[in-house]
Amino acid sequence: MTVARGRAYTGTVSAQPLLVVVDYDAGNLRSVERALAHAGMAATVSADPAELARARGAILPGVGAASDTMAKLRARGLEGPLREFIASGRPFLGVCMGLQALLDRSEEGGGQECLGVLPGEVRHFGFERLKVPHMGWNQVAWTREHPIMAGIADGAWFYFVHSFYPAPADPALTLGETTYGFTFPSVLARGNVAATQFHPEKSGAAGLRLYANFAGWVREAAGA
């Protein structure tokens, strides 16, 4: 199966609801495409706000710095449409920088205002005795039930690459936790929004299952 870049896949899954992977020049778009194709989900990689507005589900992937991410989202006219999409109640998944961008602000680069969808901030690990960035495989302990973690074991291993971590203002936003020097929230969720600090597309079977779960959530929410 292939997933067309910039348009909806028109093969055997054409009747499925449209899922948009938001393109703001993030480096891991192709890996996300392949993971979604493995899950059998029709997907479009697009920077077009109109396609985002029509979508039944959306993924904001990401690598890099908060300032670059927000600058690119603004330059492509995506900042407002992303907030509007999330406010509509349709399923939304943030990945790595796509998680951090959902919070109010980041400490990165001396301070950066983000989307403000979830209350809280992004902080630097600030370790002297542990390597930063936190890079490699680590475990996630689930704190509650959610559609994206169905069938994924508590303590499953996922792949991380990050120097900053989310610090939500409300502990109830935490869906999963990971320990690296201390225990930090590695998965956040509220309502129609879920977000992972790790990269599911680099996380083997557990990551592919998470994308498949998200695809199923989109289909269910769309009544498909």
Q: Tell me which residues are annotated as active site.
A: 96, 199, 201
Residue bearing tokens 């302990």: 141
From edge to edge, which strands make up the β-sheet containing 105-106?
112-113, 105-106, 120-124, 164-168
CB 21 within 8 A of CB 43: yes
- For residue 55, how far is the Cα from the chain centroid? 16
Task: Copy the structure tokens of residue 132.
Answer: 């930063």
CA atoms within 13 A on the CB side of 16: 24
Q: Measuring CA to CA, which residue among 212, 220, 190, 38 is closest to residue 99?
A: 190
One-letter amino acid at 76 equals: R
Q: Would you call the peptide bond into 133 cis, given omega within 30 degrees of 0 as the criterion?
A: yes
Angle between helices 204-222 and 29-38 (to 10 degrees): 70
Task: Copy the structure tokens of residue 193.
Answer: 């929004």
The torsion angles phi and psi of 63, rounded to 5 degrees, stand at -140, 160
